[in-house]
Structure 1
């Protein structure tokens, strides 16, 4: 029975893994609780590391390699770890001690026969050949997530390609001229690649590299469902993508490259500064599967020129199953918003960007009241706006909350995160 109780406690505490404060508050309840919570915290200890506490964590790690048994920790914390974050390891040890003197000991401590990692993070210009450590095959054979920079030693990627063949999610950063052919070998060797995060910064076009790189990706066109990229080349081969995130500069994308682009099973679309034609083509080709659309503009010139009515029209004509929408709305869009509310009967969350002046709030809420189907639950609203302007209409918003038009209201001031989740679906999505 005690084993069952511990298993139940573990499942309960695991639900709080994103609530550091609650987990830490339960550490001192009793030994059983402490052991269970420690096993959860050490799955990814880097996640809970606060700036300024690096010395504490480095001391705990070093205690595992002490020759004196009296100095060793009560728990083998390292064996609990599932996330090997070499970025954080290098950062905390370079900050507090002479890392070069104990680098071998630290890497051999983490790469051991008793630990199997699911997540691996490799820093820029990393050149320590971790794949040659004897226990590496055991440690990395079940890696599901890899984050790395194209500037790391090519031999490391080639070595990992022979060990890691079950990567589901790949996050790749490419800087100026970091054309690493080892990454293509790694991609080719995967059996279950599902998500791609492709972040390109300050690169010059190297057609030979991109040709080989894209060729390695094409092998996974049937399995990749999530694609995030920050360059303006969008391949037509990935038609089975369900989630597409475009976070780069797409304002100069040529129409020829997108006019016949089709992603028929797309369910979630996130885009920053993408041209109207590109967006409308994607939305039209989604066959009504889209349930979330998050479109954001930081380019002021684009916000002034954009034909927002065209985007709104395309949405309500093609997205009858839409649940959540984030979009720039102008005063001139009110009538189209009314049509959107009528046609998108399942719309549950609306995130309004109003960075081009004041919104006619009274008219907006009248539209929400008159155009929303009677059967629909009250709307969840979130605004990107200055606090001063929102506060002026606080009484009006409270009025519509009391009348059941608005269920939950949240506003935030301008931030640098262009793809903030809708406040009410940050914890869990049901689709």
Structure 2
């Protein structure tokens, strides 16, 4: 009984540490029990970390060792015999049975390429490369490897189908058992329609769907429509490059309406062509990224999201954003809004007003602004009214001659921040001077210590500078108990997500 308890506790501990793959490898060597418990966790998703070409070669070798005698005989009958050594034997564990995330693009990459991100180097052993020149041999080997993954002994929760994939995975014996428990599915619109139609008859429990629409693919893929409609509890939907043909978009949106009761998370990269968003009354998280500035925005008019808790937008016209915020019912706890201010005119004051009038329960705010100092009074009102705010990220685009008054903003932050607000992240191109932020630290005394992130690419704070004045200042106030933890980045910000990655 005590042994069972210890194993159960170890399992819970390993589950918490599962993302620490470096440490996990050492656990394998502790004893037999630890090895048996860690191997299934490590092999759930071998593609979760970036693998070197050498690692991919070894992984392919391990996969190949799982081939049955029947599969080996099939390969040998085709003249593919030098893949096997005289000491051929099955691995100690059936590693493939532990896989839960099946990425068919990754699997094809192991077979055909050394680097699935773009290299054309074969990873298969040099002595057998010539066998892959012949298309028939490629197909035979691929066929036998696919049977290793799709069978009665495996059960996947995530499936990603590669671009232009045309292998009938749903027709492989054991596919119904293997794929019926899928919870997450990703594919592209150029995938063979019959494959998606076949999966729609097997997979009914998909909760998370990612669908990539290629701009060059103008044909309607009715398979994805059938797959969407077949689901019983579709909860999370991501639509990428979602701007091809209005008829295709309209069909997808209509199929999503049928899941209005269950969809809680939606991410889109184009304005909708129908008013389907109005039907998704249970949305709790909405992410909108407009790739095309000439979107038709009529379907955003009078759009209400009463239960929305998380709103993330990128390059969404400010009037649409204001309308979205005003049509929530006070449940928003996170707002993440980004503009690059290259082309569009954005009324930042109206956005801030909409936030403090409608989002009193706000806890997290990522806010990008131009360098207009007129936002500071409105921002102070936001700090006073949003008393639950605990994390603030500011991206100030002050790249012209009219500099932003960081000193005034820091005074407002020190004076009016609610007691819950202890996490700050700042990004600017020209950046504030040391005197401004030193005053911010000084005025923060008698408050709980803050966690601070700063990102800029200004030469004054060059990382290779000998004096490192900003680090020295932060370290000084860390010793005084004003700062709990800080991180400073000097690389140019490419996207707002680069900055939110700071912990």
Change (3 A) 1:178 1:352: farther
Residue 9 of structure 2: aligned partner: 8
Q: Does the residue aligned with 2:389 lie in a helix, a strand or coil? A: coil
Change (3 A) 1:365 1:259: same
Deviation for aligned residue 1:84? 1.0
Q: Does the residue aligned with 1:28 lie in a helix, a strand or coil? A: coil
Residue 366 of structure 1: aligned partner: 411
Deviation for aligned residue 1:188? 0.6
Counterparts of residues 198-217 of structure 1 (less than 5 Å): 198-200=239-241, 203-207=243-247, 209-217=248-256
Residue 57 of structure 2: aligned partner: 55
Q: Aligned-residue CA RMSD in angstroms? A: 2.4
Counterparts of residues 6-405 of structure 1 (less than 5 Å): 6-52=7-53, 53-65=55-67, 67=69, 70-95=88-113, 96-97=123-124, 98=132, 99-175=138-214, 176=216, 177-200=218-241, 203-207=243-247, 209-233=248-272, 235-249=277-291, 251-254=293-296, 256-298=298-340, 300-302=342-344, 305-329=345-369, 330-332=371-373, 333-357=375-399, 359-373=404-418, 376-385=419-428, 386-388=456-458
Change (3 A) 1:299 1:337: closer
Change (3 A) 1:400 1:271: farther
Deviation for aligned residue 1:51? 3.2
Q: Distance in 2 between matches of 1:407 and 1:250?
A: 42
Q: Does the residue aligned with 2:34 lie in a helix, a strand or coil? A: helix
Change (3 A) 1:398 1:363: farther
Change (3 A) 1:70 1:159: same
- The structure number with the bigger radius of gyration is 2
1:225·1:243 contact (CA, 8 Å) conserved in 2? yes
Q: Does the residue aligned with 1:71 lie in a helix, a strand or coil? A: coil
Larger displacement relative to structure 2 (412-421 or 236-245): 412-421
Residue 445 of structure 2: aligned partner: none
Q: Distance in 2 between matches of 1:244 and 1:409?
A: 30
For each residue in 1:59-97, what CA deviation from the matched residue of structure 2 results, as whole angstroms up to 9, or x when unmatched?
110011164784211110011111111110001111224
For each residue in 1:152-185, what CA deviation from the matched residue of structure 2 results, as whole angstroms up to 9, or x when unmatched?
1111111100000000000000112152111110
Q: Does the residue aligned with 2:397 lie in a helix, a strand or coil? A: coil
Deviation for aligned residue 1:328? 1.2
Larger displacement relative to structure 2 (380-389 or 137-146): 380-389
1:194·1:226 contact (CA, 8 Å) conserved in 2? yes
Change (3 A) 1:129 1:8: same
1:361·1:393 contact (CA, 8 Å) conserved in 2? no
For each residue in 1:405-424, what CA deviation from the matched residue of structure 2 results, as whole angstroms up to 9, or x when unmatched?
76554454444444357457
Deviation for aligned residue 1:195? 0.3
Q: TM-score, length-normalised on structure 1? A: 0.90
Unpaired runs of 5+ residues, structure 1, are 427-431
Q: Distance in 1 between matches of 2:56 and 2:205?
A: 32
For each residue in 1:83-133, what CA deviation from the matched residue of structure 2 results, as whole angstroms up to 9, or x when unmatched?
111110001111224342311111100111111111111001111001011
Larger displacement relative to structure 2 (399-408 or 315-324): 399-408
1:369·1:405 contact (CA, 8 Å) conserved in 2? no
Deviation for aligned residue 1:377? 3.4
Q: Distance in 2 between matches of 1:327 and 1:392?
A: 27
Q: Distance in 2 between matches of 1:423 and 1:399?
A: 25
2:264·2:285 contact (CA, 8 Å) conserved in 1? yes
Q: Does the residue aligned with 1:245 lie in a helix, a strand or coil? A: strand
Change (3 A) 1:158 1:263: same
Q: Distance in 2 between matches of 1:101 and 1:16?
A: 39
Unpaired runs of 5+ residues, structure 2, are 70-85, 114-122, 125-131, 133-137, 429-455, 462-467
Q: Distance in 2 between matches of 1:407 and 1:318?
A: 32
Larger displacement relative to structure 2 (387-396 or 263-272): 387-396
Larger displacement relative to structure 2 (402-411 or 292-301): 402-411
Aligned length: 419
1:249·1:274 contact (CA, 8 Å) conserved in 2? no
2:387·2:420 contact (CA, 8 Å) conserved in 1? no
Q: TM-score, length-normalised on structure 2? A: 0.78
Change (3 A) 1:51 1:418: farther
